[in-house]
Structure 1
Amino acid sequence: MSYPKLPNLQATCFLCLVFLIGGACLAQEPATNSPLELLDRLAGQWVLQGTIAGKRTTHEVQVEWVLKREYLRLHEISREKDTKGDPAYEAIVFVSWDPKTQEYICLWLDSTAGGGLSAQGFAHGKKSGDSIPFLFTISPSDSIHNTFVYDRGADSWKWLIDNDANGKTERFADVKLARVR
């Protein structure tokens, strides 16, 4: 009597394992061009260089997910020092994604004047390709546009900050973030 041949059990188990592991890995990664995938591209250590308020500057920027990946925290510290020897500028920034409104929310706390924990310290921005144009409303006639632009080819970011006062827009900052390797 002849029995039908069973497939090689080891090969079948191996293929099942490959598909299960591959599927699990894909399930854990945000989809390309998803809002979280864009934020994932910002995580890491960066050197920020460019012009802020008409002056050349260099800052260190550390970016990491915190609180169970609910918020992306940016810690920015200038290399330049003030008269006391402290960093001339320091900021802690939180960015999150709100699936209900389909927009990013940003809280910007820095060493310039305080007051970040007010309505003016929060900005909202809708994803636009590989950029996030945040709008901070300071007053009915004053706002700050802070646009984060990701360059996939160079794996770098550009931040453009424009002050809009009474309908007149002026570029405040034009900086590039290069990943520390």
Structure 2
Amino acid sequence: MILRSATSADVEALLDVQEPGAVEGLGHIFSQDQYPFPREAIGSRWLAEIVDPKINVYLYTEHGGTIRGFAAVRDHELLHFGTALDTWGTGLASGFHDVLLDATARRTTRPTLMLRVFEENLRARRFYEKHGWQLTGRSSRTTFPPHPLLLEYNRRLTQSSR
């Protein structure tokens, strides 16, 4: 697997990976009848993040270039993290997570990373907690209707990540 920076040319393929996972993993939060995956809005957000010099957008790809995972990091905040639906349960996300933390540790001077995850996304919460992320007690609401609650987590970077 290869960790590389995303370009605007990657957005459609990135969305092709993100959408099935979002529908499967978040469909109980965002009913697809009422709140279908906002592909255009998410695509616009990815394009803006890719050109933003303060945000690092990463793709985790096979040697042939097929996208298997995606992430975005701004300074000390993990904005997005996901893998292709067919990789769920294979361990790929754990490997990607470790590679991403190492790459982030080289780019930030902060000892702690933070992220937000939907309160009702129990699968993601279990993944992050298994990988050393801890609840901070802070929360917020997403901008996407129906505006579910996001919980904040943080994680110290280990010496091996630096």
Q: Which TM-score tier does this pair reach, normalised by the shorter chain?
A: 0.3 to 0.5
TM-score (norm 1): 0.30
Higher strand share: 1
TM-score (norm 2): 0.32
Higher helix share: 2
By relative contact order (CA 8 Å, sep 6+), the higher-ranking structure is 2
